[in-house]
Amino acid sequence: MKKSLVLGVVFSFLTISWSCHTKPNNKKEVPILCYHNIKNFSAKASPDVKAYSTTPKRFTEQMKALYDNGYQTISPDELYRYLIHNALLPPKPILITFDDTRAEQFTLAIAEMNKYHFKGVFFIMTVSIGKPGYMTKNQIKILSQTGHTIGLHTWDHTAVTHYTENDWNTQLIRPRKQLENLIGQPIDYFSYPFGLWNQNAISKLRSEHFKLAFILSSAKDKTHPEFTVRRKTIAGTWSTPTMLKVLQTTFH
Nearer CB in complex with Zn ion: 99/226 = 99
Give Cβ neighbours of residue 98 (< 8 Å, ≥ 6 apart).
Answer: 34, 35, 36, 105, 109, 120, 121, 122, 123
Binding to Zn ion (CB under 5 A) within 38-57 occurs at: none
Could you say which of 35, 99, 195, 243 contacts Zn ion (CB under 5 A)? Answer: 99
> Can you give the length of the chain in residues?
252
What residue number has its CB nearest to Zn ion? Answer: 99
Can residue 100 be called a binding residue for Zn ion (CB under 5 A)? yes
Expressed in percent and rounded to 5, the helix, strand and coil fractions of the chain are 50, 15, 35
Exposure string (b/e) for 26-45, b if CB count within 10 Å is 16 or more? eeeebbbbbbbbbbebeeee
Nearer CB in complex with Zn ion: 94/216 = 216
**Which segment (60-68, 73-81, 92-100, 237-245) binds Zn ion by CB under 5 A?**
92-100
Binding to Zn ion (CB under 5 A) within 152-211 occurs at: 193
Number of shown-chain residues binding Zn ion (CB under 5 A):
3
- Of the candidates 220, 176, 204, 237, the one whose C-alpha atom is nearest the C-alpha of residue 43 is 237
d(CA 33, CA 230): 9
Can residue 97 be called a binding residue for Zn ion (CB under 5 A)? no
**Which segment (43-51, 91-99, 163-171, 224-232) binds Zn ion by CB under 5 A?**
91-99
**Which segment (24-32, 76-84, 96-104, 139-147) binds Zn ion by CB under 5 A?**
96-104
Least separation, in Å, of the C-beta of 138 and Zn ion? 22
Nearer CB in complex with Zn ion: 99/104 = 99
The phi-psi region of residue 100 (left if phi > 0; otherwise alpha if psi is between -120 and 50; otherwise beta) is: left
CA torsion sign for 126, 129, 131, 135 is positive
* Residues forming the site for Zn ion (CB under 5 A): 99-100, 193
